[in-house]
Amino acid sequence: MKIIADENIPFVREAFSTLGDVSTLAGRAMTPASIQEADVLLVRSVTRVGKELLSGSKVKFVATATIGFDHVDVEYLQLQEIGFASAPGCNSNSVAEYVLSALMVVSERKGFSPQHKTVGIVGCGNVGSKVRSKLRVLGVTSLVNDPPLKDQTHDSSFVDLEELFTADIITLHVPLERAGRYPTLQMVNAGFLTKMKPGSMLINTSRGQVVDEQALLKTLQSGRMAAVLDVWQNEPSIDCRILERVELATPHIAGYSYDGKVRGTEMIYETACKFFGVTPTWRLTDHLPATPIRQRKFLDSVNDEEVIRASIFGSYDIRQDDAHLRQILNMPEAERGAYFDRLRKTYPIRREFPSHEIVISKPRRELAEKLRGIGFSVRLGI
């Protein structure tokens, strides 16, 4: 069996070599000619998969090692009887941790306590639900808007957009839907932005096309609100006018924790094994280092909020990714797209909160519960 895989899928050779011969390519370099003889195609979000790529190929199974699959024409795969798998939820914890890191940076810069703000969450699936859970642990009020889920569950706790606009921060966790009852393509348009509170902030870690970037640019130029962006229209050729004006900017890496990426590999591998009737022999736990991998100790002189902030930054400090991306502003336009992709390809290993042990004194049990609640390993021992 011949397998073609995106070179950025971790352990793809180790896992899928149990099924056949594995060759890797850059995701943007996948062409009809390069995948024509493949039986299995494994991609990430940068590769568009549909008739144009697959017509005339031998591909029997396609998988994307990502939560979203708007880059895959699933209907075409079904018509061609080609198997398909994605990795729902694989990096949801990573994205939720990204949102917390962004919140901590902005609160520190602007001098407010997160507990004094209300966060509006659009989309309460794998990612949004984790964001809500972590915010609740930290004592941050959240409002959740998810019309499709409200229709399914009849949960009265979901709010409409009008109530959502009372939030100080709105974070987007929706799939890209171009049609249907609840389309999300350019959902955040001029009207949406106008209704957000003056001085509020938008966080987008979903898909770049969910936001009308021209409308966002005008809003940012007016100084009416702020934004944190991880995803962009026209990646890797992002709009540097927007980059210059956002509070924090990163190159589509919110879900790029090492844990999440390896988890995604395991999920699509297991589905592929099931599709071809093979018993899985590769396991994620054999490839993740033992935890905890890092330990941080805090004295009682450090207050609770600062312990939480420092713990989050010690695990993931979004400011580093922001600084790396902003270097693009000093480059010739022709080099920017390649640099954006290089930041993703060479992204350093980033472990999730459970890989970090926080050590505090025994009397600080309430703080310990908060730290555990957002995912850290905690030891009462000073």
Q: What's the rounded mean pLDDT across residues 283-294? A: 74
Identify which of 89, 111, 114, 103 has the alpha carbon closest to the alpha carbon of residue 173. Answer: 89
Question: What is the sign, positive or negative, of the torsion defined by CA atoms of 104, 110, 111, 115?
Answer: negative
Residue 314 class from Cβ within 10 Å (0-12 exposed, 13-18 middle, 19+ buried)? middle
Q: Which residues are catalytic?
A: 207, 235, 252
CATH superfamily, domain at 2-90+257-286: NAD(P)-binding Rossmann-like Domain (3.40.50.720)
pLDDT at residue number 338: 96
The pair of three-digit structure tokens given for residue 248, joined into one six-digit string: 């924090």
Query: 3-state DSSP call for residue 226?
Result: strand
Measured between alpha carbons, how far is 314 from 316 in angstroms, rounded to an integer? 6
pLDDT at 290 over 80: no
Q: How confident is the model at residue 216 (pLDDT cuts 50, 70, 90)?
A: very high
Measured between alpha carbons, how far is 74 from 375 in angstroms, rounded to an integer? 34
Q: What's the rounded mean pLDDT across residues 73-88? A: 96
Cα→Cα distances 90→8, 110, 127, 185, 269, Å:
15, 33, 10, 23, 13
Per residue in 106-115, pLDDT (tens digit) is 999 999 999 9
* Count of C-beta atoms within a 10 Å radius of residue 104: 23
Q: Are strands 248-249 and 294-297 parallel, antiparallel or unpaired?
A: unpaired
Q: Are strands 377-380 and 141-145 parallel, antiparallel or unpaired?
A: unpaired
pLDDT at 184 over 90: yes
Peptide bond into 236 cis (omega under 30): yes
Angle between helices 92-110 and 126-137 (to 10 degrees): 50
pLDDT at 286 over 80: no
The domain 294-380 is classified under which CATH number: 3.30.1370.170, 3.40.50.720, 3.30.565.10, 3.40.50.150?
3.30.1370.170
Cα 55 to its chain centre, rounded Å, is: 31
Identify which of 67, 68, 173, 182 has the alpha carbon closest to the alpha carbon of residue 120. Answer: 173
pLDDT at 207 over 70: yes
pLDDT at residue number 382: 66
pLDDT-above-90 percentage for the chain:
93
pLDDT at residue number 284: 77
Name the fold adopted by 92-249.
Rossmann fold (3.40.50)
Measured between alpha carbons, how far is 291 from 283 in angstroms, rounded to an integer? 17
Cα→Cα distances 37→62, 90, 141, 197, 297, Å:
13, 29, 53, 54, 54
Identify which of 95, 88, 127 has the alpha carbon closest to the alpha carbon of residue 267. Answer: 88
Please check whether residue 228 is in contact with residue 202, taking contact to mean a CB–CB distance below 8 angstroms: yes
Q: Are strands 201-204 and 61-64 parallel, antiparallel or unpaired?
A: unpaired
Q: What is the DSSP letter of 112?
A: -
Q: How confident is the model at residue 291 (pLDDT cuts 50, 70, 90)?
A: low
- Domain ranges for the chain: 2-90+257-286, 92-249, 294-380
pLDDT at residue number 73: 96
Measured between alpha carbons, how far is 258 from 255 in angstroms, rounded to an integer? 9
Measured between alpha carbons, how far is 281 from 22 in angstroms, rounded to an integer? 16
